[in-house]
Structure 1
Amino acid sequence: MLAYIGLGSNLNNPKQQIKTAVMALHATKDVEVVNLSSLYQSPPVDDSKQPDYINAIAQVNTHLTPLELLYACQAIETQQHRVREKKWGARTIDLDIITYGVQVVASKQLVIPHPEMMNRAFVLIPLAELEPDLKVPVLGPIEDIIQELGAYQLTKL
């Protein structure tokens, strides 16, 4: 199954945190990282006083189920000392499943496509870089979603 994983970090050398997470993803059984977007820098979504984020999207082939992939991502976050103190707080690493093939998942643990993706330039722009013709389940063509987003603050590194 082709899936896209969003990666973000703003603590403890964010570029290295993303690199480490990508290597850990690739080392995960039944997961192969096949492509990685450029890195992008963006301010925190809630305008709080914390460092800017570095973000990327990894394209992966996987034989894991969506929940198994979620657990693999959470294990990587734990390995990289992710602390969940407050929503949208600073973090060493964040891994989110953005899409999983054409599947739609809505459970207590997981929602796919990611429920905030249409509001996040740091997800949409690198996703479109990897797959410009992507049609996101429920939401439609990626280029239409980006147009709906309007203005955004994002710097390609």
Structure 2
Amino acid sequence: MSRRLAQGFGQPAGVPVVIALGANLGDRTATLDAAIAQLRALPLTDDVRVAAPISSVAVKLDGPDAAAPQYLNTVALARTRLAPRMLLDALHVIENQHGRVRAERWGDRTLDLDIVAYGELTSADPQLTLPHPRAAERTFVLEPWLALDPDAELPGAGRVADLLAGLRGAG
């Protein structure tokens, strides 16, 4: 066996991905638990690790909405060999299985799954912008991500710890 092959033996294959999960309608805990099980069952995807969920105020087009049901949010880190669009399609199937309705942008939802980062890939495609265009502004994404990976970096934006510190300092 070549040295190069031997060094890679036992390493998880695939691209590291960060997936944000959120729910603010129905049994949020049961929905997130089921969605996490479905993420773990995705083909060509392994090493799925999930942070403890946190609660957050719903964010609408006009900003935070304290009158809306609170979200339960978490982040999953995984490795996948699925192409980015195939992963997104799989996430949409999981959302749909949990009653996700896309009637209103940033509306209340039974389940929201977003690809935050797909390795170092950048994309300006409106169907799949990578990294997620608002991830650096969302404590409910950065906080659980940092809990899983203290050295995490959001491609093009910087260290997750620094981004989160900046948001907390801004109030």
Structure 2 alignment gaps of length 5 or more:
1-14
Q: Distance in 1 between matches of 2:47 and 2:123?
A: 22
Residues 152, 94 of structure 1: CA spacing in aligned structure 2 closer, same or farther, 3 A cutoff? farther
Match of 1:21 in 2: 35
Whether contact under 8 Å (1:25, 1:33) holds in the other structure is no
Match of 1:150, SS state, is: helix
Q: CA deviation at 1:137?
A: 1.0
Alignment counterpart, residue 122 of structure 2, candidates 88, 93, 104: 104
Aligned residues: 153
Match of 2:17 in 1: 3
Match status 1:34 vs 2:48: yes
Query: Could you say which structure has the larger radius of gyration?
Result: 2
Q: For residues 48-81 of structure 1, what are the alpha-carbon distances to aligned partners after superposition, in whole Å with 9 as ceiling and x for unaligned?
A: 3321000000111110011111111011011111
Whether contact under 8 Å (2:136, 2:154) holds in the other structure is no
Alignment counterpart, residue 68 of structure 1, candidates 77, 80, 86: 86
Match status 1:57 vs 2:75: yes
Match of 1:91, SS state, is: coil
Q: Distance in 2 between matches of 1:33 and 1:76?
A: 19
Structure 1 alignment gaps of length 5 or more:
none
Alignment counterpart, residue 108 of structure 2, candidates 84, 87, 90: 90
Structure 1 outlier segments of 4+, above 6 Å: none
Whether contact under 8 Å (1:33, 1:58) holds in the other structure is no
| 1:125 partner amino acid | E
- Supply the RMSD in Å over aligned alpha carbons: 1.5
Match status 1:44 vs 2:58: yes
Whether contact under 8 Å (1:6, 1:95) holds in the other structure is yes
Q: CA deviation at 1:152?
A: 8.2
Q: Distance in 2 between matches of 1:114 and 1:47?
A: 19
Q: Distance in 2 between matches of 1:42 and 1:152?
A: 17
Match status 1:136 vs 2:136: no
Q: Distance in 2 between matches of 1:29 and 1:113?
A: 22
Whether contact under 8 Å (2:99, 2:110) holds in the other structure is yes
Q: CA deviation at 1:47?
A: 3.1
Q: CA deviation at 1:30?
A: 1.2
